[in-house]
Amino acid sequence: MKCDERTLASLEMPTLLLQLARKTRSEPGRSFFLEISPLASIQQAFERQKLIASYTKYCDAEGPFPWDESFREVEPLIENASESGMLSGEELLHVRNLLRLFQRVRETVTISSHAYPGLASLLEGISDMGSELEKLKVISDDGALYDHATPRLAETRAALRQMRARGRRKGNELAVSMSAASLLQDKLLHVRRGRFALLVRQEGVNRVGGIVLDRSGSGSSVYMEPRELVEINNQVEMLTADERDEEHRVLRGVTRVLVDRRKALCRAERALGLLDVVHVCSGLMSEEGWTLPQLDERPRFHLVKARNPLLGERCVPLTIHCGERFRQLVVTGPNTGGKTVALKTTAVIIFLALCGLPAPVTEGSMVGAVDAIMADIGDEQGIEQNLSTFSSHIKRTIHMMETAAPSSLLLLDELGAGTDPQEGAALGIAVLQELRQKQCLVLATTHHNPVKAWAISEPGVETASVEFDPVSLSPTFRLMMGIPGRSNALLVAGKLGMPESVIEKARDTLRGGHASVEEIVAELQEKQVHLEAMEAGLAEERRRLSALTRESEDLQNSIRSSRDSIISEADMKAQKIIAEAEESAKELVKGLEGAARSAASRHMEDRRKETRRMKKEISGREEERIRTQAQQAGGPPSVGDHALIAGTSTTGVVERINGKKAELRAGLLKIEVPVGKLIRTAKGPELEPPLPCTTKVSRPKHVPSSIMVRGMTIDEAMPNVARYLDQAFRAGYGEVTVIHGRGEGILRREVHALCARLKYVSEYRLGGPGEGGYGVTVVSFRK
């Protein structure tokens, strides 16, 4: 949607966006608000609404979303670094804080994307930044480089510490000996210009011998570097220079990595800025009652109890609509009655909604695809061009008429004002007729009775008015749709003391026909008040019904999810029990002989038919659950998509699809999976490649010495085996046991293939006597 600077200024949008920006927690968040503009399509606005709704639901159910108050803007730093070639430690610390927060947000979104699917759009198009964050681990929390940043830096700093310690010892010895001879002002060892020095009395300078570095404040003594400390100070200075050079080398290397990834860094910063904006929007919804208007592809709007956020508590809500039965709305009423506020409020709400943000409206509000908002509001006299108020309005109106399209919204305040009332009214009607041919949306305000009369009778045009209280002689600021505003000049004049004879003469003058219009308007206003009362009652009933419907849907979804989870868990247990029973039965039959073995085999075959039937039922239920989940996720995945293997926690990238089979890469594993068992998802935590044996890692706790995967499918078992072997290796085991059962040997072959690929596995073998035989594989790790 387009909205030029003049229109934005007349709507006071910069002021509103500044108020919203002040609620953010970061500079990127503030910048996002101040630079925000309507999105390119209704679908994009809907996706942002979905993000805000998911964020709000997450916080309500799970608690606060990850955030870091130390998060700062880094885009200018990266831009400068592309020229200077080096970021300081403090600047790199800001980058590290950004990446840490981004990775935490990424993990949260990945884990929660199934329950809160709208969160996935937050990371759209942004790759993982873990390797860049790893590079920044050389930076301490105060922005300095750790000693272990490089071996050379560690050696240099160790030598520097030793030399400084030597200098302190030597300096203290000199201070004691010279103090005894009353040559020093004090017994302390000082540092001046980075060199160790003693504070020598003026009269003792020639006796001490050495280099004068500085004079004391009083002038009675000098800071002097004795000859005995010159060599040590020279060594300290050289080592300090070496340290600085090595630090700069490390900082330039890290900076080069970040500059190469500056686009990804900027996208990550913008995503966190958007997250800050979403946080503010969530707060506006929960604390101030803002809602997400329904979005529609057609250019129209229906706002229920809309409030102008700049008016605060003083604002009187208004309900206004246009674009359904009519495409032009003419608002009339007294000055300062709220006509201009109605125009501004409408445009502000539409602007916010098309940015994908919540707005101060109640449920039932709808905003359609408006492609441009143009406004002529207030006195826009151009002094520099010596234009009159009327000329300025006409110039603006001409521009709006020339650029208007069917999806545009035009706001015309005081149509036809600034010239002769009759000519102004005629011109105003002609403008509205021209715009009606363009089929654009128009909101106009006017005082001219001919414009009111034309709007009442013209098809596709509706009237509205701002209410006036005849008792208090003041506007109520309520907008009344469907009826024109009534002239209150005679009523006000009478209340203010105008003689009744004068009022009566004025009425006689108006009785040429205009009075009848006033009577009709008065009757319409009374009916409108009655209808609005009825509509308010119906709206409350609709809201109550809508709330009950949502509660019912949420309850049904929760029950359905719980039911599916319970059935799935029961099915998995049943499959394991069946597999174990079959394995046990095979072992028993092998121990029988002759007729008994034959009879047992026949009985087993009968039982096999029953178990096959049970497995088929379980498989059918599982397939139905997978189909439902796949439909909710937008259909089956394609090559390059991230997907979850149904019934497991394994997530990977689809590398190839061949007919009904897909190849999924999850860390080191390449798993062949039926396409029907894959559910498209946001990028998830994949199985990481095992770390080389020389890498120092923390040992996992409570890792058992064996893993049982007997009875599982390959898709279920192999991710668990890969994860277990990695944990067992890091836990320090020499060897572990994988219990896969005998069966047909399918699981055994897959386990052996995995062991052959793992670099930290030295050998693997089938279990020996007493170890489980062919039913287990014993895996030994490299030292």
What is the per-residue DSSP string for 289-352? --B--EEESSS-EEEEEE--TTTGGGPPPEEEEESSS-SEEEEE--TTSSHHHHHHHHHHHHHH
Task: Profile the chain (783 residues) by mean pLDDT over runs of 10 residues.
Answer: 89 95 95 94 95 94 92 93 92 94 92 90 87 92 93 96 95 88 87 92 86 87 92 95 96 94 93 96 94 95 93 85 92 78 94 96 94 81 47 85 93 78 84 91 87 84 77 64 64 68 69 50 57 72 80 75 70 68 65 64 70 72 66 71 72 83 75 78 51 46 82 84 88 88 84 89 85 86 83
What pLDDT, on the 0 to 100 scale, is given for residue 30? Answer: 96
Is 388 in a helix, a strand, or coil?
Answer: coil
> Which structure tokens are listed for 488?
């209150």
The number of angstroms, rounded, from the C-alpha of 434 to the middle of its chain's C-alpha atoms is 44
In the prediction, which pLDDT does 644 show?
78
Question: What is the rounded (10 degree) CA torsion for 157, 160, 164, 169?
Answer: 100
Looking up tokens 């946080």, which residue turns up?
Answer: 279
Q: Count CB-CB contacts under 10 A for residue 191.
A: 16
| Distance separating alpha carbons of residues 719 and 731, to the nearest angstrom | 18
**Computed from CA positions of residues 400, 402, 403, 409, in that sequence, does the dihedral angle turn out positive or negative?**
positive
The residue whose two tokens read 């198009």 is 125
Question: What structural domains and CATH numbers belong to the chain?
Answer: 5-129+261-286 (1.10.1420), 150-242 (1.10.1420.10), 294-510 (3.40.50.300), 633-681 (2.30.30.30), 706-781 (3.30.1370.110)
Say how many Å lie between the first and final Cα of the chain, rounded. Answer: 65
Please tell me the pTM assigned to this model.
0.63
pLDDT score at 524: 58
| Two tokens, residue 671 | 């798993």
DSSP H or E run through 425: helix 421-438
**Three-state SS letters, 206-244:** HHHCEEEEEECCCCCEEEEEEHHHHHHHHHHHHHHHHHH
pLDDT at position 627 is 63
Give me the pLDDT at residue 709, please.
86
pLDDT of residue 118: 92
pLDDT at 648: 63
